[in-house]
A and B are shown apart, each in its own frame.
Chain A
């Protein structure tokens, strides 16, 4: 094993389920020590990608190396070094918090003498130390999610896969989890986090890879992506739909991308407009800073939250 190898290396990965191609020539490299946000709408292939990385799915084509080791040939060794937090809560409801963690400390080969300390540490991460003896079925949604994350960290992995870590949770709980996840990054744990929440990616990820139809369509820091694809300013026009269509074709004629959101059209990179062009478009209702969401919509034509 070499420290020079990227934590995750995927080249040309393809995964088909019958007629459906869930992952379609995916290239993705995650260097050591960063948090990479894998951003995409539902059905973009994020979860399938995660399963390829745990060896629970086998790619039909392409090359995958994790921590320098080939997948799926050495998948077991990789799984020993990596922590996985699944999208679907698969905690053992009948067991206590402590038992859930203790089972995984065993499965992750934590040495006998260190197991108890590892379980205690994980309970600390989940902030559930005072709930050690509580059965999972009695925990709140936020507590369960924290435990799910802590379970993937019980063996102190250097690489963590987080599959939609806050999906379906209310905003307050989501923020709680964010501080837990950003702790990981501060501590140098390499993290691949899939999400369909723009804000989550913007706040937590050092870099984002935008995924659509089984491929990565753009990659960079949120700032770079916005600058490259959405410019410095967006102007938004609210108008009846005929006028919106007119605005869209006008902007298109000027070589600018637009984005339709309900009753409005956003014109991206509007800072590039000349005075004369501005006059033709008419005064916008809102001028705002571009977001990663704008980038996403422009690149894929799909919306994410």
Chain B
């Protein structure tokens, strides 16, 4: 065996453990470690991830933008396909964040036991949740721009404000991935996600001002939309892309941050309950 020296070295290093790094309550090192894993997975799966993230919004754009667009014309002075191209950013962000949060997290916790392995290393649930959610958020920020690029290809005017969209996508993606992680920690089985997808995500996705303005809805529904985080994302994206940013957008950012902070707490709490007995 060629390991003689290696384990001896290991033991030697181990005896000097007083020099081992002191760990703190929340650290970025384990977060980077989890990202390192995600990066390795992404390197392997990027073609399928990218395909889904680009083709899906393209289909929405073509179907709604050109389908409905031909009968609707303009909404609030925008061409309907411009209205939809900006709205679909939020859809992409919702799907990447929430689906990733629900399915990836459930599979890694329950089937692959990846999290058991990680928590036996110096990683805490807070770091784990933060790492998984922020990775998904970064993906949402990047792929959330796909609908705009597709939109540009179909005639949407590029604007400087579009440079803000990845950040809006990141924040909203963080929110929904935390939502997904929280859900993954409270469902009894992976099949329960069907209820969440149909009962929660579909209404969120439809009543967010993506395909039609929420103030066209009955009063109760447009009030309800205000509580939908996705609505605030849609508003921020449109204001950025169309150069309408103003003080009122701080409210949208504030609502998204508040939801994110709340969901982070929930996700950490429930994941801890599932992973540590």
Contacts and interface: CB of A to CB of B under 8 A. Distances in A.
Interface in B120-146: 120-124
B7 A80 contact: no
Given A58-B277, A109-B29, A186-B7, 14 more contacts: A56-B277, A67-B17, A81-B14, A86-B116, A86-B120, A88-B116, A95-B37, A103-B40, A109-B23, A124-B2, A124-B6, A157-B14, A187-B8, A188-B11
Contacts of B71: none
Contacts of B20: 80-81
A57 interface: yes
Contacts of A99: 37, 40
A104 B1 CA distance: 23
A127 B2 contact: yes
B13 A156 contact: yes
A92 B13 CA distance: 27
A20 interface: no
Contact of A106 (B18, B36, B41): B36
Interface stretch (A176-184, A196-204, A252-260): A176-184
Contacts of A8: none
B40 A180 contact: no
Interface string A153-172: 10011110000000000000
A13 to B, nearest CB: 14
A107 interface: yes
A107 B121 contact: yes
Give the residue among A156, A179, A180 with the most B Cβ atoms within 10 A: A156
Given A125-B7, A158-B15, A189-B14, A93 B277 contact: no
B248 interface: no
A11 B122 CA distance: 24
A95 B40 contact: yes
A108 B121 contact: yes
B10 A153 contact: yes
Q: How large is the interface on A (under 10, 10 to 19, 20 to 34, 35 or more residues)?
A: 35 or more
13 contacts: A51-B277, A56-B276, A57-B277, A81-B17, A81-B20, A86-B117, A92-B41, A96-B40, A103-B34, A107-B30, A121-B10, A158-B11, A189-B14
Q: Which 4 A-B pairs have the closest CB atoms?
A: A106-B33, A158-B14, A156-B10, A187-B11
Nearest to A77: B23
Nearest to A84: B120
A83 B158 CA distance: 53
A1 B22 contact: no
Contact of A56 (B9, B22, B36, B119): B119
Contact of A179 (B1, B33, B112, B275): B1
B113 to A, nearest CB: 4
Contacts of A179: 1
A148 B1 CA distance: 17
B15 A58 contact: no
Nearest to A93: B112
B109 to A, nearest CB: 11
B7 A57 contact: no
A138 interface: no
Nearest to A148: B117
B70 interface: no
Contacts of A49: none
A39 interface: no
B32 interface: yes
